Amino acid sequence: MSLVKLKKNANRPIPSPEGPQKYRPVLLGDRIGAKIQKQKNHSQHRNITWWCEGGRNANSQLYNPGNPIFSIAEWNKKQKEKNIKYKKSADLEEDQSQKDHLLESQLIEVNKAIQQINQENNHKPANFNSDLYRTSNRQAKKYKGDTESKRHGDTESRRLYNISLLYDGIHPSYHLARAWLMKFTIQTIKDCWVPNNQVEAREKDINNNSI
């Protein structure tokens, strides 16, 4: 996703919950969750309980959105850029690129399993990785996780994800963190508040049964 579109998504208006609150939304996360928490600036964010600290495995009581894609090669690059004596050889760059491709494939398989669990529990969490796609969600579904694609060629040389949105290869940039916070906030409204039409239908059903 382009930076312009990412900013647009992050600046969408947050709808107010219509009905009564049924659950308390909780975000359990590691340092990525902490980066998202730092972007809270809306009254609706005060309804979210934040349990984020370094070293904690990302999870959620409501649903599991899957594992965000990240790049070990980019992380190593950012760390070693601080060392002026560091010179990256072509062989080392190719080796790290291959390892990143393997990592992407493994994360995709893990996320498929998580998606299956969510479907079995009737959960439809937001897809954080969709904000990292270089192409549309529809096109990405056709070839993500595959080593080859007739339409897009070798995915090992043509990365599916815009890793530049991760400022160090792992943690989200300012705009990406805001976009992820927007997605999570909207999802909590859907999951933790009962819409007025459902409340009215339930009250009507209770009244009919009491007659």
pLDDT band at 52 (very low <50, low <70, confident <90, very high): confident
Contacts of 171 (CB under 8 A, 6+ apart): 31, 32, 35
Q: What is the pLDDT of residues 5-35, one digit of tens each?
A: 889 989 999 998 988 998 888 887 788 888 8
Q: Which two tokens stand for residue 118?
A: 């969510």
Secondary-structure percent of the chain, ordered helix, strand, coil, rounded to 5? 50, 5, 40
Residues whose CB falls within 8 Å of the CB of residue 168, separated by 6 or more in sequence, listed in order: 74, 75, 78, 79
CA pair distance 108, 53, nearest whole angstrom:
25
Give the model's pLDDT for residue 95.
73
Render pLDDT for 76-110 as a digit per residue (tens, 0 to 9): 888 777 665 555 555 666 677 788 888 888 888 98
Q: Could you tell me if 62 and 121 are in contact, meaning their C-beta atoms sit under 8 angstroms apart?
A: no
Read off the pLDDT of residues 148-166 as tens digits, 9 standing for 90 and up. 444 444 444 345 788 889 9
